[in-house]
Amino acid sequence: MFAKVESQSNGIDLIKIDNEDTKIVFTNYGARIVSWKYDDNNIVLGNVVEADEFYIENPYNFGATVGRYGGRIANATFELDGEKYKLEANNGPHNIHGGPKGLDKRFFDYRIEEQVGQVKVIFTTVIKSEDDHFPGDIDLEVIHTYDVDHKWTIEYKATSNQKTLFNPMNHVYFNLNRDNNVIDNHSISSSKLDMYTLDEDNIVETKNPIDLVDIFNEQNIQFKDIFNSEDAIVKEQMERFGGVDHPFDIGGNEMTVENKHFLLTVKTDMPNIVIFTFNDTTGWQSDFNIYKAHSGFTLETQCIPNDINLFGDEAPSILEANQPFYSKTSYKISEK
Ligand code: G6D
């Protein structure tokens, strides 16, 4: 295994890691994954060739580290220890993905460590309260490790100088199809697939999810069956959003997604996974926008969005001052 760095324009560096059958590329812009290939098959959506223009323009957070808070905070407001915070609204009246100055839009410093059987890219940055209006400045390390088992691991290490919210995640879109056709044929599988329903503005509306394993009477469910479900609640949600854009409770720390050719295993210590099936691709007027609805799906390992307004003091995203935050998620690809 080896890594090499290629610099494009606009300050974008590509860090290319070669592991024989598989190759993966990261960039300092948003500490993001740009490409992951199994032989000639693209496993994720991205653009290596014109990364320097594509990522600056792309509004869909392709492959980016997202934070300090992944997902929407209703009405861009929350209360912590009796103090009210007003964030910037960048999704109608709501705050999404940390606001307009989120982690996806910044250049990280980085260093590369080549070790036996793995390569680590350690990205660092500081999130300033004055930039995103959350309390606390956060020192952050995002470590991407790629290993000989074709496993990509993301670790987040952080400390805040004040009590705050911290809910980082990666917004990579996967597509396991050889022809990169829509992902309707992929199935998701876990011991539990509880889905939290959303209101018209994509805000989590309930603490009581619906149980897809019970509704479909199996633990392995194709996306197209969810999209076309006749179950009243699922149908209403799919009609509202054109697909899945929902937080899940997967009952443990592991779930899989597969098609005929590949198996993707995600393991995480975060409490929830938001699955988004790229339902509306019409919001980007660009020659780069070659995507149709359901071109990919995300597996955003995070706390349930809007947790602070749902759970108050008990919100899992609360990070105490000067307490180390650590979280780890891995994605492993195998050929069937
Ligand atoms: C997230 O849940 C959201 C989507 O609604 C949004 O469109 C996307 O990020 C860009 O996954």
The secondary structure of 238-292 as a DSSP string is HHHHSS-EEEEE-SSSEEEEE-SSEEEEEEESSSEEEEE-----TT--STT----
Residue among 65, 97, 204 whose CB has most ligand 1 atoms within 8 A, to mutate? 97
How far, in Å, CA of 162 to CA of 137, rounded? Answer: 7
Ligand 1 center to 117 CA (angstroms)? 34
pLDDT value of residue 206: 84
Our answer on whether the CB atom of 245 is closer than 6 Å to any ligand 1 atom is yes
CA of 183 to the centre of ligand 1 (A): 17
Residue with tokens 């006749």: 230
Phi, psi of 174 (to 5 degrees): -95, 155
CB 61 less than 6 A from any atom of ligand 1: yes
**Cis preceding linkage at 68, omega within 30:** yes
Domain with residue 114: its CATH number is 2.70.98.10
Confirm or reject: Cβ of 277 under 6 Å from ligand 1. Answer: no
Q: Which segments within 116-258 are labelled E, that is strand? A: 118-127, 138-147, 151-160, 164-165, 169-170, 173-174, 187-189, 194-195, 210-211, 220-222, 245-249, 254-258
Indicate whether residue 104 lines ligand 1 (CB < 6 A). no
189 touches ligand 1 (CB under 6 Å)? no
What is the distance in A from the centroid of ligand 1 to the CA of 18?
Answer: 30
Per run of 10 residues, the mean pLDDT along the chain (length 336 residues) is: 96 96 97 97 97 96 98 98 98 97 98 97 98 98 97 98 98 95 98 97 92 97 98 98 98 97 98 98 96 98 97 97 98 97
CA neighbor of 103 nearest in space, from 165, 26, 29, 172: 29
Q: Which atom of ligand 1 is nearest to the CA of 276?
A: 11
In terms of Cα–Cα distance, which of 186, 187, 174 is closest to 42?
A: 174
* 3: its two tokens: 């890594």
In terms of residue numbers, what domain contains 172? 2-335
Whether residue 202 has its Cβ less than 6 Å from ligand 1: yes
- Spatial CA neighbour of 162 closest among 68, 99, 90: 68
Nearest CA to ligand 1 atom 8: 60
Of 96, 172, 166, the C-alpha closest to 137 is 166
Separation CA 116–CA 281 (nearest Å): 41
End-to-end CA distance of the chain: 23
78 lines ligand 1 (CB under 6 A): no
Give 279-286's long-range contacts (Cβ < 8 A, gap of 24+). Answer: 279/241, 279/242, 279/243, 279/244, 279/245, 280/242, 281/60, 283/59, 284/57, 284/58, 284/59, 284/60, 286/57
Alpha-carbon torsion, ordered 140, 165, 322, 154, to 10 deg: -30
Domains held by the chain: number:
1
What confidence score (pLDDT) does residue 179 get? Answer: 86
- For a mutational test of ligand 1's pocket, the pick from 60, 69, 90, 96, i.e. the residue with the most ligand atoms closer than 8 A to its C-beta, is 96
Residue with CA nearest ligand 1 atom 11: 276
